[in-house]
């Protein structure tokens, strides 16, 4: 297997997704470790911290509901799909934004799962192993007013 950098992987993602706008690999702390955008006008860094907190809240809710393993998290707007996948065995997630008028949601999900595996393959994290859906998402929720653990 040829090891690529995270940036090269995200550039490859753009080539496979019609309507690609942006992608980022983000840590649980909300900091990007890699990102790629079609346009320099896309403010990926500005939303990463908020998305990290959002993902943690989704994971906590799913755990409390005992609703199983999260496959992906989808936000749909009138203009875009934002899909987020937790990278198994790591504190990172892959977020992808596409123009919903230029692609199909099923295609984004399929390609996204492939790319989560590619991202996982280059992250030097000792706990990662297994298939995308074999591991439950790790829940790390910061202490905040109004959030009960």
The alpha-helical segments, DSSP class H, found in the chain are 6-16, 44-65, 105-122
Domain 6-122 adopts which CATH fold? Beta-Lactamase (3.30.450)
Model confidence pLDDT, tens digit, residues 23-37: 999 998 999 999 999
Contact 88, 130 (CB under 8 A): yes
Helix (H, G, I), strand (E, B) or coil at 50: helix
Nearest 5 degrees, angle CA 34-CA 79-CA 115? 35
Model confidence pLDDT, tens digit, residues 92-121: 999 999 999 999 999 999 999 999 999 999
- Structural domain boundaries in the chain: 6-122
């Amino acid at each position: 297997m040829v090891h690529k950098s995270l940036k090269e992987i995200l550039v490859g993602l753009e080539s496979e997704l019609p309507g690609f706008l942006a992608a980022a690999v983000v840590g649980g702390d909300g900091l990007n470790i890699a990102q790629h955008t079609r346009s320099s006008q896309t403010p990926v860094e500005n939303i990463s911290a908020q998305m990290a907190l959002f993902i943690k809240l989704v994971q906590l809710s799913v755990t409390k509901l005992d609703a199983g393993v999260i496959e992906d998290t989808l936000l749909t707007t009138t203009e875009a799909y934002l899909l987020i996948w937790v990278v198994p065995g790591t504190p990172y997630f892959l977020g992808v934004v596409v123009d919903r008028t230029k692609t199909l949601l099923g295609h984004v999900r399929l390609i996204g799962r492939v790319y989560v595996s590619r991202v996982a393959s280059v992250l030097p994290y000792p706990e990662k192993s297994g298939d995308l859906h074999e591991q439950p998402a790790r829940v790390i929720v910061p202490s905040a007013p109004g959030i009960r653990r």
